[in-house]
Each structure stands twice: as structure tokens, then as C-alpha cells.
Amino acid sequence: MFRIRRISTALVSLVLLGATACSSGDGGVQAAAGGQPGGGSPDTLPAGAQIDPVTKNQAAADKLSPTVRQKGELVIAMTEHTPPSGFVGQDGRTVVGVDADMAVLLGQALGVRVKPVGTSFDQIIPGIAAGKYDLTIAAMSPTKQRMEVLDFVDYFRTGTNLATKPGNPKKLTLNTLCGQQIAVLKGSVQEGKIVPGYNEACTKAGQSAIVVNSFPDQQATILALTSGRVDAVVQSAPPVAWAKKQGAPIELGKQDTWTTVALGVKKDSGNLEAIQLATQAVLQSPSYKQVLAKWGVDEHAVSEAKVNNVTY
């Protein structure tokens, strides 16, 4: 479990949540009850699931940079408002989700501690570039632009989905959004690649452009929809499906536009090979399937930790 503490700063208009956790090879991962994304009850979250530990992969550990080997720790940037990938649990201090569990398994495979640090999605890459974090596990899809700063290792896959009000009063689909107000996650592949592609189609058809409203976290996009500020949310499928499962009054469309999701590590850090070997070991372990099953995202599994597997 990851404990976080709140830190304030006058220089940055952002609250960072720092977290510390130790992963070891002598016990399983005990998950905590989560929060209430989308207005759901904590009773509906997968509390107390036991995940088998991953055996240390010595070949991967040997490839870690001298800096990481010396400190025995990886600082990992995560989102904290994008369930089921990563979010703050019911106690207000514990980071839970797919990415939190994956971080523990990665640390076990490498034989190092993991220190997750929560931040907003759009601040992850600048933070890695500035040396605040060693890598990120944050449901991030590789893109050519992101690869200017990071190298990526696949650990998941996801599709894009549309969320509307119940009954889908405007009968919207991902291909009929011209002229509509939509919400996206700031810094997401939907904001940067997928919706602009839809807008190009609108322009070619002589229709009004999609009006894009960017929000800092998934919960804000759902609130914008339920409050009537936007007509739809265009987001990765797992977060909107999770929000609906937790009781958010929304309707989901058909999942489309599958993309890979990857860990991101700073270029020239000397840790890429170690991360790839350790991630592959995790993907081949029963623990990986246990994590996905726990969070209800079994269909999003991948079998190969590909490097820089760019979709866009």
C-alpha cells in the first residue's frame, strides 16, 4: 500500500502527493479499499485482494543504473484521479489501482523499493524531464512527441470510449461529435491525437468543429457531463467504465481506437533495459493477471513488453 502526504508550495499552482512504499519478495501485495470515483460506494471496490509476489529477476536488476542501484529506489510518477489506473483510496492517503499494483510488482522484479508520487497527468513528463521522477506508470500511451523525452515499455492496452448522459439524448457516437461540446483529460492521447483526428473529419465534411474542454482529472470530466457543461466525455475506456460501475449517471458507447499503454522512463537514464526485462517478467507472472482481474480490466492485458511501440 502506498501512503501519501500533502505538500504545499507557493511556486507551483499544483498539489503534489508524495508516496512511499516498499516492495519485497517475501509477501504478497495487500490492496486497500479505494475511494468513491463517480459517486460510488467504497463497498463496491475490490478491497483486500491478495496478489502473489513476483520473484526478483536478477538479469533485470543487474541492468539498473549505478544511481538507482545505490539508492535502491525508483521514484514513480502516477495520476491520482484516474480510477482504476491510479487514485487515492478511501483513507485519503493510500494510492490504489492497476498502476499502484504494477509499481509494487515492478519493484519486486527489480529488487528495489518503489516510491510513487501523485501528480496531474499533464505534469508527469515535465517532472521526469526535470529529474523529479525516475519513471511513470500512469496509463500513458506512447506517442512520437512523448518519445522526445521518454522511452516506453508496454504493460497494458486500452480503447477510447464515449460517455453521455443516460439514454444518450443526442444519439452521439465517436464519429458524430461535430459541433458538440466534449470533455477530455488534459494531456491525454484523446486530447492530443484522437479528437483532433475526429475534428479533421468534421472539417472535411464541412461541419462545425468539435468544442474541446480539457480537465485536469477524470472525475472532473464526469462532473462536467453530469452537470450539463458538456455533451459527452471522450476518454480511455477503463476510467469511464469504472465511473459507471461506481454509480455515475452516464451511458457508455462502443469502445474503439485501441492503443498501447506503457511505462515511461527518461531517455538516456540507463534504466530502459532493466525496466523492459522486469516488466516482461511481470507480464509473464500470474500476479499480472491477478492485478487485472482485481480491477476488472482483464481484456486489457498484453503479453509482450515492447519498447517504444508507438500508435500515434
- 128 falls within a domain: yes
Rounded-to-integer distance, Cα 172 and Cα 184, Å: 16
Is pTM beyond 0.75 here? Answer: yes
Same domain, 132 and 267: yes
CATH at residue 251 = 3.40.190.10
Does pLDDT of 300 surpass 50?
yes
Spatial CA neighbour of 161 closest among 239, 254, 251: 254
- 295 falls within a domain: yes
- 32 falls within a domain: no
Same domain, 204 and 220: yes
Rounded-to-integer distance, Cα 65 and Cα 69, Å: 6
pLDDT of residue 37: 29
Range of the domain at 225: 160-255
3-state SS, residue 136: strand
Same domain, 166 and 110: no
Same domain, 145 and 178: no
% the chain with pLDDT above 90: 71
DSSP string, 216-283: SSHHHHHHHHHTTS-SEEEEEHHHHHHHHHTT-S-EE---EEEEEEEEEEETTSS-HHHHHHHHHHHH
Residue 153, beta-bridge partner list: 263, 307
107 burial level (CB within 10 Å; 0-12, 13-18, 19+): buried
Same domain, 63 and 150: yes
Cell numbers of 112, please? Answer: 528495489
Same domain, 234 and 183: yes
Same domain, 73 and 147: yes
Q: What is the mean pLDDT of residues 117-143?
A: 93
Same domain, 203 and 239: yes
Same domain, 85 and 116: yes
- 185 falls within a domain: yes
% the chain with pLDDT above 70: 84
- 42 falls within a domain: no
Contact between 258 and 159 under an 8 Å Cβ cutoff? The reply is yes
Contact between 134 and 68 under an 8 Å Cβ cutoff? The reply is yes
